[in-house]
Each structure stands twice: as C-alpha cells, then as structure tokens.
Amino acid sequence: MQLAFSTLGVPGLPIPDVVRLAAETGYHGVELRAHQEEPVHPGIGADERARVVAEFKAAGVEVLTVAGYVRSAAAGPDEPALHDLRELLRLAHDLGAANVRVFPGGGDLAAAEADAIAARRLGAAAPYATDLGVRLLLETHDSHRTGADVARVVGPVGHIGVGAIWDVMHPWLGGEDPSATYAALAPYLGYVQVKDIASAEDTTPLPLGEGVLPLAECVELLSREGWDGWLCWEYEKRWYPRAAELPGLLAPGRDHLLRLLSEAA
C-alpha cells in the first residue's frame, strides 16, 4: 500500500513546503485541500497549476486527490453543485490527481431524498470525470457516515467515474464494524483515510496509534482482502488549532502504518 497525508493537517502551508515534508518523511503522495484559504483551489490559473505540477514531479511525490467541499446531497438546484464539480475535476486533471473528494452534506433531508440527489449529481458529472481521467470519490461523512450509507449512493450511479473514500472515523462513530464498511465499499473503494482520535466524544486528532480508532483491524482487513491502494492520513489540525503540529508527527505516523502493514502481512 502507498502512504499519503492531507494538507488539512498543515493549513495554509505553501506547496514547496508541503512537497518537502512529504519527500523528507517518506510519503508517496498528498491529498490537497482545495479551498480559497489554501494555495491550491479552482481559482488558481494555468501558470500556478503548472508550478504545482513541477514541484511535485521534481520530488517524486504524487498529488493523490483534490479534496473539494461540494456537498453532493445538499438541498437546492443541481447546477451550482455540478459547476463546482466540473471546476474541481478540471483542477485535478491539470494537477495530475487521480481523484476529487466529495462530501454528502444531506443535512436534515430524508435519507432517500438525499441519496437520490447525490446519485443524480454524481451520475451527471461522472462522464466528464472519466473523460478527464479523474474519479469522483464520495467520502463516508456527515449525513452518509457509514459504508452502507455511501454504497446507497455510489451503487445506483453504477459508473467507473464515481467511487468512495473510507474515512475510518465516521463509520466507527456510526457503529459500523470495519468488516461491514469494507464489504459495502469494496466494489467502489478509491482509498482509505486513516486517523486517530481521543474518544467518540472527543474527536481531537491524535498521533496514529495513540487513540481509540481500530486502525490495526482496518489495515489487517485490507491486507487480508488483498486490497493494495492508498492509506491517507487525514489529521484535522485545521479544525483543532490546539492539536499538536503535524510535521513532527509525520515520520512516526509513517512508521506506525508500516508496522501495521508488516504485522498484517
């Protein structure tokens, strides 16, 4: 399996520093948070996109994903969401990223209605994604926190251009066993976001292996099933400013994941 980390853990860090961190700490890729407060977002021009590509290429580090904030299941007209999805897909294509991360964001809508909205929008964007060589990945999150929830959307879309991200925290918080999450998402799984937290009541991010999330169980399950994709550490420093700084945790986190992989093998 290949290892990546999300820039959510180093908010606002310039791209040259992000790339240096990845290369120096042994990560193969980076999930780029695409937001106006970050150095990479759909508003940057062709020259800046080319500079980002050059930085990553020179270091031999991949741009795994453009992590967008489109809420695919949110109430309202489709076109604004579809416009934002197209913008993110173009950005991912220009950066050489394989994926665009999408949230559900169904809010208080009934599950069936939220499912239908998300499936309709993702299905409409899927051919464009495939034309660009990029995949839209719906994350286990908010209104669709379990693998079963996400599979209810991605399954009916039935298009190679749409898949899923397994964020290990949200299904666990939703009471879904890792084996059930994997079974639901396996046909669509793009990659796995790993993290650790203090408790179900306190989701403050912790160094990998120091919290309560079943990381060893998840890695062992993936290895047993022969899954050989990406593990991406999403350390949510952006939302928890008092959490420890990520750069000093990256190398130990990599070592912890490698240890889990070795034990699983």
- What span, in angstroms and rounded, lies between the C-alpha atoms of 126 and 139? 16
Our separate counts of H helices and E strands in the chain read 9, 8
pLDDT level of residue 184 (50, 70, 90 thresholds): very high
C-alpha distances (whole Å) from 82 to each of 117, 134, 238 are 12, 15, 26
What integer is the mean pLDDT of 99-115? 98
pLDDT level of residue 155 (50, 70, 90 thresholds): very high
Residue 9: predicted pLDDT: 97
pLDDT tens per residue, range 210-253? 999 999 999 999 999 999 999 999 999 999 999 999 999 999 99
Q: How many structural domains are present in the chain?
A: 1
- What span, in angstroms and rounded, lies between the C-alpha atoms of 7 and 5? 7
Residue 265: predicted pLDDT: 86
The CATH number covering residue 7 comes to 3.20.20.150
Alpha carbon dihedral 119, 125, 126, 128, in 10-degree steps, equals 170
State if pTM tops 0.95: yes
Provide the domain limits for residue 37.
2-264
Place of tokens 């290949």: 2
Mean pLDDT over the full length of the chain: 97
pLDDT tens per residue, range 37-81? 999 999 999 999 999 999 999 999 999 999 999 999 999 999 999
- What span, in angstroms and rounded, lies between the C-alpha atoms of 85 and 51? 23
Alpha-helical runs (H) found in the chain:
15-25, 46-59, 78-95, 111-132, 147-157, 169-173, 178-185, 215-224, 247-264
Residue 102: predicted pLDDT: 98
